[in-house]
Amino acid sequence: PKTDIVFLKVHKSASSTVMNILFRFGEMHNLTFAFPQGGGFQLYYPHHFLAKFVQGFSPLHPRRFNILCHHMRFLQPEVQKVVPSSAVYFSILRNPVQLMESSFVYYKGASAFSRVRSLEEFLSQPWRYYDPASGDRHYARNLMTFDFGFNPDGDASPERVQLMLKAIEASFDFLLISEYFDESMVLLKEMLCWDLDSVVSFPLNSRDSSTKSPLPDSVVEKLKAWNRLDWEIYTHFNRTFWERLDRLIGRERLARACLQGTGSVGPKDIKDSSLRPLQHGGARILGYNLKQGLPRELERTCRRLVTPELQYSSLLYKKQFPPPPP
C-alpha cells in the first residue's frame, strides 16, 4: 500500500469524506500528518501553501510527513519540501454547477454573495457584486481553479486553458469525481494499492436536501460561463477519469484474465464455434478466443462476456422456456 500521499482538499466536493478515509488509514498505520501550525484546520488558506505553515517543519532540519490533506492553495515546489518524493498526488472535482450552488449557500457571508438574495440575482449581474480584489473572491468564481493555485479571474483562452490542464496533469497522479464517489473509491483503492475496507465511508459535511434547490437552465448556462475555467477543468478530467477507470479495472484487466492473445481475432481464427459471431454480407465480424484451463466461475464470466448475441439469446430463451422433458 502507498503511504506517502498529498490530497488537495477542494472545497465543497466531498473532500471531507476523503479526508476522513485518509485520517483512518493514517491512524491505523501510524503515519505522520502535515498538520497546520498550532493545530489549526487550514494551511493558511487562501494564501498559496508554504512549507513553513506545517507544524514541525524546519528549513534547517527538513522533515518529511506521510500525509498532507488539510485545506491549502496548491503550490507544488513548497509541497515537495514536506512530503517524500515518492508521494502520490490526487484531488477531487465536482460539477461546477452544483459546486457554486453549494458555495452560495455555505459561503453566504462572502462579500460577493452578501448583497444578493439568490444565486440567480448574482449571476444576472455578477460584476456588480464581485470584486476581483477582495480576499474572499474565490468562493464566488472558479473555486476549483483557485484551489489548484491558478488565478480564478484569468484568461479563458484555449491556449491558457491547455496550459492549466497540462500543469494539473503534470502535478497530480489522478483526480476523483465527487458525482461518481463509489467509482472514485474503487479507483483510489486501485491506485493506492489499499484494501476495500480502507476506502469505505459515511458521507461527511454533506448538506441537508431541504436547503438545495434546482437551478433553471438559463441560470446553469450563466453559471458555466461565469466559472468557465472550472468547467474546463471538470469536463477534461471527467473524461480522463472514465478512461483511467476503464483502463485500470475495466476491459484490459478482463482481457488479460479471459482472453488468449491481446484481443479480438478474425472469424476463421475463432477456435470455439459456439463463440463465432454471425458473418453477414461482406462484413468480417471479429470474435474472441478464451484462455484454456480457467477456473469454472471465471470461465463462466469470461464466456458470457464474449458470447455473440444470437447464441446468448438462444441460451437465455432455453433457460426461460426449457424444453419439456422426454
Q: What is the pLDDT of residue 250?
A: 66
Q: What is the pLDDT of residue 98?
A: 92
Give the whole-angstrom CA distance, residue 182 versus residue 278: 38
Q: What is the pLDDT of residue 201?
A: 80
Q: Domain containing 298: what range?
A: 260-320
Q: What is the pLDDT of residue 244?
A: 85
In this structure, the number of other CB atoms found within 10 A of the CB of residue 301 comes to 14
| Residue owning grid cell 468557465 | 228
Q: What is the pLDDT of residue 211?
A: 58
Q: What is the pLDDT of residue 208?
A: 59
Give the whole-angstrom CA distance, residue 217 versus residue 223: 10
Residue 207 has pLDDT above 60, yes or no: no
Work out the average pLDDT over 270-274.
91
Nearest to 32 by CA among 5, 58, 9: 5
Whether 47 is in a domain gets the answer yes
Q: Please check whether residues 187 and 160 belong to one and the same domain.
A: yes
Q: What is the pLDDT of residue 316?
A: 81
Q: What is the pLDDT of residue 226?
A: 97
The residue from 249, 273, 304 where one domain ends is: 249
Give the whole-angstrom CA distance, residue 200 versus residue 303: 31
Q: What is the pLDDT of residue 196?
A: 83
What is the CATH number for 73? 3.40.50.300
Q: Please check whether residues 176 and 311 belong to one and the same domain.
A: no
Percent of the chain with pLDDT over 70: 94
Contact 167, 159 (CB under 8 A): no
Amino acid at 96: P
| Residue owning grid cell 475555467 | 229
Mean pLDDT of the chain: 90
Q: What is the pLDDT of residue 247?
A: 76
In this structure, the number of other CB atoms found within 10 A of the CB of residue 42 comes to 14
Residue 126 has pLDDT above 60, yes or no: yes
Q: Please check whether residues 160 and 230 belong to one and the same domain.
A: yes
Q: Please check whether residues 168 and 310 belong to one and the same domain.
A: no
Q: Please check whether residues 303 and 226 belong to one and the same domain.
A: no
Q: Please check whether residues 94 and 236 belong to one and the same domain.
A: yes
Q: Please check whether residues 56 and 174 belong to one and the same domain.
A: yes
Give the whole-angstrom CA distance, residue 15 versus residue 268: 52
Q: What is the pLDDT of residue 205?
A: 57
Residue 43 has pLDDT above 90, yes or no: yes
- Tell me how many domains the chain contains: 2
Residue 309 has pLDDT above 70, yes or no: yes
Q: What is the pLDDT of residue 204?
A: 60
Whether 163 is in a domain gets the answer yes
- pLDDT band, very low/low/confident/very high, at 153 (cuts 50, 70, 90): very high
**DSSP code at position 204:** -
Give the whole-angstrom CA distance, residue 2 versus residue 189: 10
Q: Please check whether residues 10 and 143 belong to one and the same domain.
A: yes
Per-residue pLDDT reduced to its tens digit, 208-243: 565 566 788 888 999 999 999 999 999 999 999 988
Q: Please check whether residues 214 and 308 belong to one and the same domain.
A: no
Residue 93 has pLDDT above 60, yes or no: yes
Whether 254 is in a domain gets the answer no
Whether 255 is in a domain gets the answer no
Q: What is the pLDDT of residue 200?
A: 85
44 phi-psi bin (left φ>0, alpha ψ -120 to 50, beta other): left
Whether 325 is in a domain gets the answer no
Work out the average pLDDT over 283-292.
87
Residue 63 has pLDDT above 80, yes or no: yes
- Residue by residue, DSSP assigns 62-103 as ----SEE-SB-B--HHHHTTTS-TT-EEEEEE--HHHHHHHH
